[in-house]
Homo-oligomer: A and B are copies of this chain.
Amino acid sequence: MSANWGHNIELSLFGESHGQAIGIVIGNLPAGVRLDMDAIRWFMKRRAPGQNKMSTPRQEKDEVQIVSGLLDGVTTGAPLCAMIQNSDQHSRDYSELKVKMRPGHSDYPAYVKYHGYNDVRGGGHFSGRLTAPLVFAGSVARQILQEKGIVIGAHIKRIHNIEEPSFPVDVDDDLLKQLSSQLYPVLDQHIFSQMQNEIEEARMHQDSVGGMIECAIINVPAGIGNPFFDSIESHLSSLLFSIPAVKSVSFGSGEDITKMYGHEANDSYYYQNGQVKTKTNHNGGITGGISNGMPIIVNVGIKPTPSISQLQQTVNVETQTDTQIQVKGRHDPCIVPRAVVVVESMVALAILDMIR
C-alpha cells in the first residue's frame, strides 16, 4: 500500500484500527507556525466516535502525541509526525473476518491484493479510524491557510432523502466559522432533526444511510490550478476519493449543472469594488481547472455505512463457497455527520498543497 501523497505538502499515513497506534508524517510544512492545539482538539472531537447514538459507541480519546517537527509549540520545518495510540481495541476473535468477506467493504479486494496477509481486525489500515490523523493534518493546514485569509467550512447537505439548502453565492467567513463551531454543522437546525430521525430509523432497522456534504473554501485567490493534469478539481478529488465511503465528487452545482442551459450555467462576471465577481457560482469557483476568486464549492457523496448487523449473503474465500455473514461490533448507522470535518480537512490539505 502506498503511504504518501503530495507535492508541496507531503503526507505519509500509517497505522491500523487495532494496531498499536495510527499516525501521519507531514513533510514540507513551513517553519515558525505556532499550532493552536485547542483548535486541533476541537476538530479531532468533531470526528471522534462515541459522542451520541448516531455514531459507534467505541470510545477513543484520539489524543494526539507529536513525535517530531515541533519545538516549544512551533513548527521547526522538519517533518511533523503525529501519533494517536489505540486504546479501546476489543480483542476478540477475527478468524471469521479472515475468510468471510463483508459486503461493501474492502475485505475481498484487500484479500486478493495482499494475498490474505492484510490485518483484518477492525478493517486494519482501511478503517475509517485512519481519518483521525488526516483530520489532525488538515487542522494544521487550515491554520496555515487561515493566516492567508482562506477559510473552509462544510455542512451536512443531505442525509438519505432529507436535504437542506445549498450554500448561498456569497457564503462568507462568518457563516463558515459558525458551521465549524458546530459538532455536526448544518444550515437549518430544523431539517437536522429530521436527518437525525432518519439515521435513528436506520439504526432501529439494523441498517444504515448515507448522504451528501457540501464544502466551501473562500478567499482562494484567482489563478490557482492547471488545465492539464492538475486542475483544482483533479487535485481535490484525488484526496476526497481517499476518504472511505466517498463515491461521488462534484463542483459548484455539480450534477445539476449538467441539466442547465449554457446561458444559465455560465456565471456572468461583474465588478464589485474593483474585484471581479460572478453573479451565480454554478462552476464552484473553478473554470478551466483554475480558481476564479469566487468560493470554491465541492460536493461529496457518501454511501451508507457498509457495516450493518443484518444477515447478508457473501462468500467464504477459504472454502470457496457461498455463505452468510452478520457483521458484529460497534457501527455508525450513518458516518456523514462525522465525515464533515474529514472532508474539510482533505480540502484544506489539497488547497494548501496547491497554493504554496
Contact = CB atoms under 8 A, between A and B. Distances in A.
Interface of A: 1-7, 10-16, 19-23, 25-28, 31-32, 67-69, 71, 74-81, 83, 101, 103-110, 112-115, 117-119, 124-126, 130, 158, 160-161, 202, 205, 207-212, 221-231, 233-235, 237-239, 241-242, 244, 246-255, 257-271, 274, 276, 278-279, 282-284, 286-293, 299, 301-308, 310, 312-315, 317, 320-322
Nearest to A202: B261
B262 A258 contact: no
Contacts of A79: 1-3, 12-15, 125
A282 B248 CA distance: 12
A241 B233 contact: yes
A8 B119 CA distance: 21
Contacts of A118: 31, 76-78
Protomer copies = 4
Contact of A242 (B75, B227, B247, B267): B227
Contacts of A14: 25, 67-69, 78-81
| Among A28, A205, A274, residue most surrounded by chain B Cβ atoms (within 10 Å) | A28
A27 B2 contact: yes
